[in-house]
Structure 1
């Protein structure tokens, strides 16, 4: 069974440049790129000034939630680059009433290579590696799933692009899929990592084995500890990380025999498997 995904280059090319990434990581990255192309496209000319979000939120919170609750492309100047156990962030308009925190996706497009007067993506990077190359003051573009509001304004699940990549970058092309059944373990780990909250007691060397059951539509029906790690907080966080996946739509494209093999399965998770 082949699951069709989008990528900036053929998957083989991405994998060659994404050293240290699993096929599951590549699947998550490809899915996010496909989501961008089908929701907003490669249309950076229509980008919204990120500072307007905070302005509109103060004027009419209900209208702001409706307007910015869908995928959009934004632009702004990165004033700060922040990192904690939950992820990597850019702050646009730091220290002003228009400040917006941009929460980066786990994987980002890059590096980019210039060919003639255009830029072409050559692989994928972790958000940490990507952000380490961004200098405060840089103008950036962000494609984000939505805005959230609380103590401040946040753009979440964002892919970030340099001004050069946004204005002169080559639009991604659809690439062949990968065999999801063969790479199912890596896919589960990559998806679980997106929703993992690391407990403060977590240490290297922990390993928990979980038993997971799936419905035919890909919904995760149950998750239970099959073999504990010795750290109850870590085990609970691993269970929640699997539950937070919600559903795996790839399961719907499996044949009956393929689904039968994965309707109930065991998976071992270490902190390294779940870390950004």
Structure 2
């Protein structure tokens, strides 16, 4: 009977150790997933800012451009980083301003950094990008 009790205690001890190990592994996996998510969010933010900066730099300001003019664009990218299509989804109210914003997207042609992005991340974040085009250096 003492032998059975000792075996039962050993089995209980072994199960407890196994549960501890599983819990530690689950915690480590959750921590790693959290770190990956943070890194992905930072990368998405960085590339989104890069897209915005390159489009703004390629923009040719129309004479009619004024402060508070905002055009919302939808840009479709290929996995190679090339611009497939760009369209105005919300107009600034000035056709030339809107057209020059779309022209700037096509002038950029390609965001090389997108070709290096994991395909899953690309599909979730960059296949279609909405860009609020609002240059800050306009006249009143």
Indicate the TM-score class for this superposition, using the shorter chain for normalisation.
0.5 to 0.7
Other structure's SS at 2:88 match: strand
Higher gyration radius (CA): 2
Matches within 5 A, 1:9-48: none
* Residue 189 (str. 1) matches residue 20 (str. 2): no
Among 116, 136, 139, the alignment partner of 1:272 is: 136
Q: Kindly tell me: are residues 180 and 273 of structure 1, through their superposed partners in 2, closer, same or farther at Cα, counting changes over 3 Å?
A: farther
- TM-score w.r.t. the length of structure 2 is 0.64
- Which protein has the bigger strand share? 1
Among 112, 116, 122, the alignment partner of 1:253 is: 116
- TM-score w.r.t. the length of structure 1 is 0.33
Bigger RCO of structures 1 and 2 (CA < 8 A, at least 6 apart): 2
Tell me the residue number matched to 2:29: none
1:187-231 Cα distance to aligned partner (Å, 9 max, x none): 111111221110000000011100110011000000000010101
Q: How many residues end up aligned between the 2 structures?
A: 96
Deviation at 1:273, TM superposition (A): 7.6
1:13-65 Cα distance to aligned partner (Å, 9 max, x none): xxxxxxxxxxxxxxxxxxxxxxxxxxxxxxxxxxxxxxxxxxxxxxxxxxxxx
Instruction: Structure 1: state its 5+ residue gaps.
Output: 1-178
C-alpha separation between the residues in 1 aligned to 2:91 and 2:69?
9
Tell me the residue number matched to 1:198: 61
Q: Kindly tell me: are residues 266 and 273 of structure 1, through their superposed partners in 2, closer, same or farther at Cα, counting changes over 3 Å?
A: farther
Tell me the residue number matched to 2:78: 215
- Which protein has the bigger helix share? 2
Matches within 5 A, 1:1-276: 179-261=42-124, 262-272=126-136
Other structure's SS at 1:181 match: helix
